[in-house]
Amino acid sequence: MTVFFDLDRTLMDFEIGEDMGIKAVFDTYNDEIKMDYPEFRLKWKETAQKAFDEYSAGLHTFDEQRHLRVKRMFEMNGSILDEKELEKRFQLYWSNYEKGVTLFPDTRGILDNLKNHNIPTGLISNGDPSNQYWKLNKENLKEYFDPIIISGEVGVSKPDLHIFEIALERAATSKESSWYIGDSPVHDIEPALKFGMNVIYLNRKLDGDALICHQEKPAYFEVGSLNKAWKIIENNKK
C-alpha cells in the first residue's frame, strides 16, 4: 500500500494567507479600487484560480500567472499597470500571504500515523516547484514523501492521468494497492478514479466526523477530515 496526497487545500491551508495578502493590496490601493472589500476578495480569488488553471493548462509561465491576477484585478477597476508595478503589487500580496500559510490541524496526525505504520506516502501537486517546495520546507513535510511529484517539474498537470502514472512508476507500486487523498473533484478525485486508484475525497465542508462510501472497487470514500481518512487507511492496510 502507498498513500498519495494532494498538497494545497488538502494538507496545506493557505486561505488565511490568501486573505491577508488580498487585504493588504486592498488597503494599500483602496483609492484606485471601485469595489468594496467583500467583492474585491471574491473577484481576486476567482481571478487567481482562473490564472492558475490557465498556467496548469500550459498557457502561461508560473510568474506570468502571478502578474496576470493583479493585471486583471486592476483592469476591472480601471487601472492599467506596467510590469514593474504588477510585480510590486504582487510582492505586497505575497509577503503577506507567506505569513498565513500553515498546515491544517489534522495534517500532522495522519502523516505521523502513516509513518509509524511504515506505510509509504507520496505527493502529487500542481504548481511551480519553488513555490511547492517552499511550503514543504516551511512545515518540514519533505521527509514524509517519496516520491514528490510536482507538475512544474514533470511537465504535466492534474487532471491529466499521466501525472498519476508517473507517481506510481516512481513509487514502484500498483494503482490497485494505492490510495489518493485530495480535495478537488475535478483535479484530484475524478482523474484518480478514472486512472483506477482507490480514492478519498476530502470535503472539508462536511462535518469532521463525516464518512461516506460511494463505491467499493476501486474504493471511493468521502470524508470531512484527515482523521477520518486515516481510519479508512487503517482499516484497509495490508
Pick from 100, 131, 162: which residue ends a domain?
Answer: 100
Identify the CA nearest to 72 among candidates 84, 64, 31: 64
Pick from 100, 134, 160: which residue ends a domain?
Answer: 100
Given a cut of 90, whether residue 117 has pLDDT beyond it is yes
Whether the CB-CB separation of 74 and 100 falls below 8 Å is answered with no
Q: What percent of the chain has pLDDT over 70?
A: 100
pLDDT in tens, 40-99: 999 999 999 999 889 888 899 888 999 999 999 999 999 999 999 999 999 999 999 999
pTM of the predicted model, to two decimals? 0.88
- Find the domain containing 32 and state its range: 15-100
As a whole number of angstroms, the distance between CA 219 and CA 53 comes to 28
> Looking at the structure, do residues 113 and 91 belong to the same domain, yes or no?
no
> Looking at the structure, do residues 112 and 177 belong to the same domain, yes or no?
yes
At position 8, the amino acid (one-letter code) is D
Pick from 47, 67, 100: which residue ends a domain?
Answer: 100
State the pairing for strand pair 211-216/102-103: unpaired
Domains held by the chain: number: 2
